[in-house]
Structures are given as C-alpha cells and as structure tokens.
Copies of this chain bind each other. A is one copy, B any other.
Amino acid sequence: MATMDDIARALGITKGTVSKALSGADDVSEAMRRTVVEKAVEMGYSRIARSHAVKKICIFILHMAYKKPDDFGYDVVIGFRKAAEPAGYRVDIIELDDATQRSISYDEFMLRENYQGALILGMMLSDPWLSCMQTCRTPAVLHDNRVRGNPAVADVGIDNDEGMHLAVSHLQSLGHRKIGYLSSGLRSYVYQQRYAAFFDALRQSGLPHHSGLAASESHPADCVRLHLPRLIDEGCTAIMCSHDQLAHEAMLCAAGLGKRIPQDLSFVGFDDIPLCRSTEPPLTTIRQDRSNLGRCAFSALLNLITHVPISMLLLHTDLIVRDSTDAPPSEQA
C-alpha cells in the first residue's frame, strides 16, 4: 500500500503538497490536485488504511426508484445495509447524476470521499462511469451488468438462465408446445441474457425454437402492438415476457383482442414486481429476491475489498404461480 511519502517521491513534490492536495486544501491548484489524486489512485493509495475507525462504502443509484417499499431498489438497499452495518461498514446512498459522472472518474470520487467500495444500481450501457469500470481499482459491484477482466469489479444479479428454464418448464408441464417471447430492447445486458436463456430453455425442453417466436422493441407498447397479434397467429398458446411491466401491457392488449387469460392464452412475466398481484388476472412470474440481492451484493463487495476477485455472483430464482397461466385451449376439459 503506497504512502503519501511514496506519492511525493514519485511526483518530485513535498509530502505537505500531497497531503494538501488529497485533503482538497485551497492553496493547491486544481491541476496539482488532479495530478496528485491520479497518481494516488494509480499507486493504490488509500486513506482508509490509516484509520480503522471508519469503514465507509456507498450505494450509487442511477435511473432507479428506491425510496418507497414498492420501488425495485428499496429492498435491495435495505438488504445491503442489513448485511453491511453489522459488519462495521457505514453505508451512504448517493443518487448519481450524469454531470457528476462526467466531472470526475469513479476512482477519484471514491478516493476523495474515502469510500472503500460501492454497489452501483441501475447503471445503463450509456452511463459515462460504465467505461471507468473497465480499469478502476476501487472495488465496485454492479447489478445486472458485466465487466470482463477487471478483478476489482463484480456482477451481481439473479440466475436469469435458471429463471427462464423454470418458466418454460412450468408452461410445458401445463401442456403448452408453442411459446412466444416478447422482450424489451436488446441493448441491455440483462435482456440479452434473458433472450438467450429463453431459446436455450426451449431447445433443452425439445420445444419449437425458431427465431420467429421472439420479438424485441425498446418501447413496451410498440413491442406488444407490433408483435403480439403475429405470435397469436403463429399459434402460440403462451407468451413469456422479458419483464412484468411488458407482460402487463401484453395482457391488456390480448384482452382488447378478445382473448381470455388464461383460457385462451397464458402469460408469464419476470421479476415479480408488486404490480403482479394486481394485474387482471394476477401474473405468474419469476421472482427476484431483492432483499437477498442486497445482502449478496455486500458479500461480493466485502470479498473484493479483501482481494478475493469475484467476477459474478448470481442468486437462485423462484417461480411464482398465479392465475395468468393454465393449460392451453386444446387440453382444457
């Protein structure tokens, strides 16, 4: 672990200047401050090592609601805190905006604020900090994103592959042979995973699996309007959806087309958001255990902090059977 002396020597400046730069003192120029911070990050300097009293980590939240119990992030944050705080970590919640990501790198931010590591929730492929994740040295756990080859970064999520197999097996056991798939746009890591897992599940179950059985669009309303009638015409008796909100839209559209759910057409969602209990009928889906996702994210982060280079940590999923699935029309009494 590099010391302030090491940094001073490497830059040919005094330790006093290093100390001032790292503490953000006014009498150090912005250019010098940047030079010192960048060198400190490069050399693996950490202020934490000098004080065992404070162990600080944070959760960055982007593009995700988390304040109310029904919000996706709510239970994740609570699960994380419940694991982190008894282990002696203070957890700060930071709503990360685009301007902050553009003004400072992830490593610099973490060094400046004295954080040992972070969970990052809701990051999208277009977020500036995603590129920081390729090379950062401060531990980071990403939810539903994959960064290859950086030992300081881990991906935490659910086992989408297992979830998709559970859903397809459930539909197959009810008697469905032709299952369609409606997906959100495929520019997201998690929807790419689920799309591939759907076809993998069809193949392994011996069911028809030509690419015409699936469709993806960025906007749920477009996806449903453009593709649901075609899948029905194809003879699909069940529709798997990449996420619950899309399944909800698809059920509304199917009802508009005069289809009874589940008598004429079964639907399965993914995630088990609270909405699933109040759709008409209530939606069969694959559950993400958000509280345990939070606990696992802390477990992964603690491993990264202690130099165990976790790449990926996935949680088991559950099939939650409600009223939107039943046998196909041909098999009903």
Contacts and interface: CB of A to CB of B under 8 A. Distances in A.
A321 interface: no
A12 to B, nearest CB: 32
Nearest to A294: B308
A215 B4 CA distance: 54
9 contacts: A148-B162, A150-B316, A151-B316, A289-B309, A296-B308, A299-B299, A310-B314, A311-B317, A312-B314
Contacts of A311: 158-159, 162, 314-317
A149 interface: yes
A165 B148 CA distance: 9
Interface of A is mostly: mixed
A303 interface: yes
Nearest to A296: B308
Nearest to A152: B316
List the 3 closest pairs (A to B, CB-CB), nearest first. A309-B316, A159-B311, A312-B314
A158 to B, nearest CB: 8
Nearest to A83: B308
A301 B151 CA distance: 22
A43 interface: no
A162 B308 CA distance: 16
Contacts of A158: 311
A313 interface: yes
Given A148-B165, A311-B315, 14 more contacts: A148-B159, A148-B162, A149-B162, A149-B166, A151-B318, A162-B311, A292-B308, A296-B308, A299-B303, A310-B314, A310-B315, A311-B317, A312-B314, A313-B314
A295 interface: yes
The CB with the most chain B CB atoms within 10 A, among A165, A311, A315, is that of A311
Contact of A313 (B165, B295, B313): B313
A294 to B, nearest CB: 10
A172 B311 CA distance: 23
Given A149-B162, A165-B148, A166-B149, A309 B315 contact: yes
